[in-house]
């Protein structure tokens, strides 16, 4: 029987389940099932379909159970951050969870900071202010007299809600909770002063667990439905970025990472939170990592820009768009990818054109020009954030590791290396799933520590290194980028 780890990896647009096996050659991974994760818009709100996600997980477990030659050692679930489910006293979900893209939190931080000073919130949590953080979602629900929150006995973050559906055990996993802006960065526990402002206590959350702890085992119901036995469900790094960063194949600590997907997250690993006036003014975040680390990072809008354009272009293939971008004129138009204009526009292509027009630049006309504008702007934005990280990081930054789906984009990787001026190591593209599996392996005793796991990944996965070129051209473009984005 082959011993495997079952990883559930859910993103904001799609999800999948994966089997991971360690062999003498390294880590082998096999997709079990892939599925879309679609927002439901009704009654003026955007919801996730938690039951549909659960159904797909059960389907994946059934497929593995029918294989016959595979034994699942454990199960781990990672998802996007901040969103949560309200659970009633009888254990049932009170409604589908709101999505962080729901417009109800517009202006929510300012409303909360009238009660607790912004500076105080940042001193406690070290988390960047984004209107969809759970802290502001909860405060908004409370101000709006939300019936599900009023009746809630427990609040479960998305990965914890799904593990509850599998095990019947309610937990709050540290890395996912840290995205909520409710965890004290120094004590690594929920901050009671913030909970009080929301009318909540620690009892409104599940048992607090850290990556590698066991949540529970599959319920009799799930065992019957899937044909599996009492398999343990492990709290991995429930936040997908924390799982992804765990798998960075770095051979020494002097690196920054760029987790590149719908969102780009750029940061460094530190032993303790970095909470200063500078990190606050630059809106850097201190999220929980594995093995007691902190992920000092910045959220950057990533492939969201291109994904939204592609949806309107009839799903044109990436290679086609990349070759059109490569053939277009360099640095014709640049945007700030993090401008509020791009948060959730009805028409992303039009939003990009509007930005260029408003900032007195040539308006991109062709698909190639749009894609080139997106990629060059992202590469230059990465440089801007990396420049800030260099001043904040406790160690030097010699290499940038690009992980996640975006690591397969050779053109963007080369431009990123050109922009940032240090080597870019691309891979693994399956970083989140690998990190999820690694933490399960550590919990099972198959692996001894994160450093040795990283070395194993470095040996067993093909990585590509991109070296900086055209330094002067990119330096000039960077000055132009700063000018354009500062004045907009």
Q: How many CB atoms lie within 10 A of CB 110?
A: 11
pLDDT of 284 reads: 95
Three-state DSSP state, 238:
coil
CA dist 4 → 13, 204, 454 (Å): 26, 34, 19
The answer to whether the beta carbons of residues 430 and 29 sit under 8 Å apart is: yes
- What the block records as the tokens of 383 is 């440089």
C-alpha–C-alpha distance, residues 245 and 267, integer Å: 9
pLDDT of 343 reads: 87
The answer to whether the beta carbons of residues 256 and 203 sit under 8 Å apart is: no
pLDDT of 1 reads: 78
pLDDT of 446 reads: 86
C-alpha–C-alpha distance, residues 406 and 378, integer Å: 12
pLDDT digits (tens, 9 = 90+) for 353-373: 999 999 999 999 999 999 999
Q: How many CB atoms lie within 10 A of CB 459?
A: 11
pLDDT means per 10 residues, the chain with 488 residues, are: 93 94 88 97 97 98 94 97 98 98 95 98 96 97 98 98 98 98 97 98 98 98 98 97 95 94 92 96 95 94 93 89 97 96 93 97 98 98 97 95 95 98 96 96 90 86 96 98 90
C-alpha–C-alpha distance, residues 64 and 70, integer Å: 7
List, in sequence order, every residue forming a beta bridge with 76; answer none if it has no partner. 7, 234
The answer to whether the beta carbons of residues 237 and 275 sit under 8 Å apart is: no
| Full-model pTM | 0.91
pLDDT of 344 reads: 84
The catalytic residue positions are: 240
The answer to whether the beta carbons of residues 216 and 209 sit under 8 Å apart is: no
**Which phi and psi (to 5°) does residue 19 adopt?**
-105, 130
pLDDT of 451 reads: 87
List of domains in the chain: 2-239 (3.30.420.40), 248-427+448-488 (3.30.420.40)
The answer to whether the beta carbons of residues 484 and 361 sit under 8 Å apart is: yes
Q: How many CB atoms lie within 10 A of CB 410?
A: 12
């Amino acid at each position: 029987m082959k011993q495997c780890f079952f990883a559930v990896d859910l993103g904001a647009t799609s999800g999948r389940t994966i089997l991971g096996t360690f062999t003498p050659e390294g880590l082998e991974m096999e997709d079990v099932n892939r599925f879309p994760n679609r927002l439901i818009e009704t009654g003026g709100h955007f919801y996730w379909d938690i039951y549909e996600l659960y159904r797909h997980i059960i389907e994946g477990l059934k497929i593995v159970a029918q294989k016959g030659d595979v034994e699942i050692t454990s199960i781990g679930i990672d998802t996007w951050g901040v969103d949560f489910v309200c659970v009633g006293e009888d254990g049932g979900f009170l409604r589908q969870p709101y999505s962080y893209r729901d417009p109800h939190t517009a202006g929510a931080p300012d409303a909360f900071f009238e009660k607790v000073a912004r500076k105080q919130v940042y001193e406690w949590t070290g988390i960047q202010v984004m209107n969809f953080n759970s802290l502001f979602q909860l405060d908004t629900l409370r101000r709006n007299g939300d019936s599900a929150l009023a009746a809630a006995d427990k609040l479960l973050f998305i990965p914890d809600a799904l593990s509850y559906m599998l095990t019947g055990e309610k937990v709050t996993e540290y890395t996912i909770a840290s995205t909520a802006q409710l965890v004290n960065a120094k004590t690594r526990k929920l901050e009671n002063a913030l909970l009080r402002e929301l009318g909540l206590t620690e009892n409104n959350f599940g048992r607090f667990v850290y990556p590698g702890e066991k949540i529970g085992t599959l319920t009799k119901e799930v065992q019957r439905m899937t044909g599996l036995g009492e398999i343990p469900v492990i709290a991995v790094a429930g936040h997908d970025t924390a799982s992804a960063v765990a798998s960075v194949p770095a051979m020494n600590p002097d690196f920054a990472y760029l987790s590149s997907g719908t969102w780009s997250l750029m940061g460094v690993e530190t032993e303790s939170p970095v909470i200063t006036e500078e990190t606050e003014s630059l809106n850097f975040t201190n999220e929980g990592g594995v093995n007691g680390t902190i992920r000092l990072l910045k959220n950057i809008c990533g492939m969201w820009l291109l994904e939204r354009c592609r949806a309107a272009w009839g799903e044109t293939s990436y290679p086609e768009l990349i070759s059109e971008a490569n053939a277009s004129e360099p640095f014709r138009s640049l945007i700030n990818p993090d401008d509020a204009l791009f948060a959730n526009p009805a028409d992303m292509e039009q939003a990009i054109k509007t930005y260029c027009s408003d900032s007195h630049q040539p308006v991109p006309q062709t698909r190639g020009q749009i894609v080139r504008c997106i990629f060059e702007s992202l590469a230059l934005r990465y440089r801007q954030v990396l420049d800030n990280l260099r001043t904040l990081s406790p160690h030097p930054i010699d290499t940038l590791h690009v992980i996640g789906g975006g690591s397969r984009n050779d053109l963007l990787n080369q431009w990123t290396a050109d922009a940032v001026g240090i080597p870019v190591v691309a891979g693994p593209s399956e970083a989140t799933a690998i990190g999820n599996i690694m933490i399960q392996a550590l919990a099972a005793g198959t692996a001894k520590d994160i450093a040795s796991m990283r070395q194993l990944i470095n040996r067993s996965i093909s990585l590509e290194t991109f070296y900086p070129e055209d330094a002067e051209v990119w330096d000039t473009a960077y000055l132009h980028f700063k000018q354009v984005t500062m004045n907009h």
